[in-house]
Amino acid sequence: MSGIGKGVVTASIGKVLQFRGFKVSVVKIDPYLNVDPGTLNPIEHGECFITEDVWNFKPVFESDERSYRISEIDQDFGTYSRILGIEMHPSHNITSGQIYLSTILGERKGKFLGKTVQLIPHVTDIIKERLMEIAESEELDVLLIECGGTVGDLESSIFLEAFRQLKLEYPKHTAFIHVTLVPYSRAVGQQKSKPTQHSVKMLQSMGLQPDIIIGRSEKPLDDDIRRKISLYSNVPENAVISNPDLEIIYELPLLFEEQGLGDIICELIDLKAKLVSYSEVTNYSEWVKMVEMYKNATKTIKIGMPGKYFNISDSYISINNALEHAAAHQGYKPELKMINITEETDIEKELSDCDGILLTPGFGERAVEGMIHSAEYAMEKKVPFLGICFGAQLFYIAFCRKYLGLKGAHSTEIDPNTPFPVVDLLESQKEVSEKGGSMRLGAQKIIIEPDTRLFNTYQKKEIFERFRHRFHIKERFITDEAKQKGMVVSSRDETGKIINSIELNRKDHWMVGTQFHPEFKSRPYNPSPIYTDFIKACIAIRTNNK
């Protein structure tokens, strides 16, 4: 089933191969017809991950057809990046939309002259070409390919067919790993193998025989269930791997290592382990130390997260992870209080027990007034505050209303007729008519002002962080009065025209808003600097209030 944790499994497989010195990367296949996930609601699909690069995807290579800007990709790439410590190009996220665009526009350009264009071989050939081009151009030892969705879905069947053909073409260098749910029946007190038996039979009917089965379960797989899965699935018993629920997901590669998964894969695809150079990312012993650090982070700190996309837990997964990384390195575990704001939400009551407030990103008018009130509360009570993207814009709106008396100040995204448009469309966005791939995207150079919290955090004049926005903070409202009342522009873009971050100039209050998304570059062994400073401020408040 979907949502089973294939992304963590894929990254953890990559990690056990990194422990053996191999250069690995990952491709994620999403079978939906969107060209990329940029226009999907986080409630529908989870977070949208942003890459360093922006890719101009041309459906037909070297044609004069239009290209599509892609930097918004599947949230699983955040998991891959955090665990594997590598950056992946946006072309590593393949969707059905991209493949069918390439097929249909290729036919119009005459790519298949004389041929009746069919799913097999034409569509499957395009899929295989994309995969092989990545593997060869990046000179990889192993390319891990994760297919999203569920076995038996009509939309993913063409990709599974491409996998069958790859196995036929590269039998000694291709392995199939099936991630499957092994539920626990409380009524009979047993783990059940029947869902796995059925999904394996469905794979076999498509010409795919798993080489390894990874069983997702609440508790480690019992020996008898492993034997049963092995027998019914035609997989050796040692290749039935247990993947139980874990409090620290970074422990999963170590669990796989204990079960010999890395050696099994090396034997299947004829790999000989290499000499591993020392690295906190790829060294086994360093990874063990890091996992222990996370396990030993037992003190808690409570972070309030007012927002609008909390219907599923994955909506802000990179933010959640960045907070966890920063807290663990201080010996703390974050308790995240996710506040799904409605008109009935009592903001002050919800935030009263929080050590810090993180105002989340988003789009649209729903929940906006409650989020603005959250920023006002942080200013009044001097609660450490970090606003990300939309959260930074709402912080600015709250300041303009509260301290400058600009009643009705708003973003033109929410109120096009506001008397004080303190947040407005970027100039580059005013002629944009399409929604997909048209925002200010990817890594951008940020020029940091000296003597600011942001400079103290990064200790650099120039940094690169990732963006995803259309609207921005208007500097004309940062008057002398605004500056006297504490508003500081702490960074801009290279032209000096776009504000990239703001903060309050208060010695006794940490309050920062970033138009960029620093969470996308946070790693478990190397937390984001700005998230680290935010957590430190929260810890200081908690300590002082004891």
User: 143 Cβ partners below 8 Å, 6+ apart?
Assistant: 24, 25, 26, 27, 131, 134, 135
- Is 389 considered catalytic here? yes
- Is 519 considered catalytic here? yes
Q: Are 4 and 111 in contact (CB under 8 A)?
A: no
What single-letter amino acid sits at 40? L
- Is 472 considered catalytic here? no
CB atoms within 10 A of CB 334: 24
User: 188 Cβ partners below 8 Å, 6+ apart?
Assistant: none
DSSP 494-546: TTS-SEEEEEE--TT--EEEESS-GGGG-BTTB--HHHHHHHHHHHHHHHHH-
For residues 27-57, one letter each, b for 16 or more C-beta atoms within 10 angstroms of the residue's C-beta and e for the rest, the string is: bbbbbbebbbbbebebeebbbbbbbbebbeb
Residue matched to tokens 């990559």: 14
Written as six digits, the tokens of 324 are 């966890």
Query: CA torsion 413→416→419→421, rounded to 10°?
Result: 30
Number of residues in the chain:
546
Q: How far is 520 from 489, CA to CA, in rounded Å?
A: 22
Q: Are strands 332-340 and 299-307 parallel, antiparallel or unpaired?
A: parallel
Nearest-CA neighbor of 290 among 234, 346, 252, 256? 252
Annotated catalytic residue, options 266, 389, 400, 538: 389
What single-letter amino acid sits at 227? R
Q: Are 358 and 388 in contact (CB under 8 A)?
A: yes
Q: How far is 475 from 497, CA to CA, in rounded Å?
A: 8
Annotated catalytic residue, options 161, 251, 324, 519: 519
Write out the catalytic residue numbers.
389, 517, 519
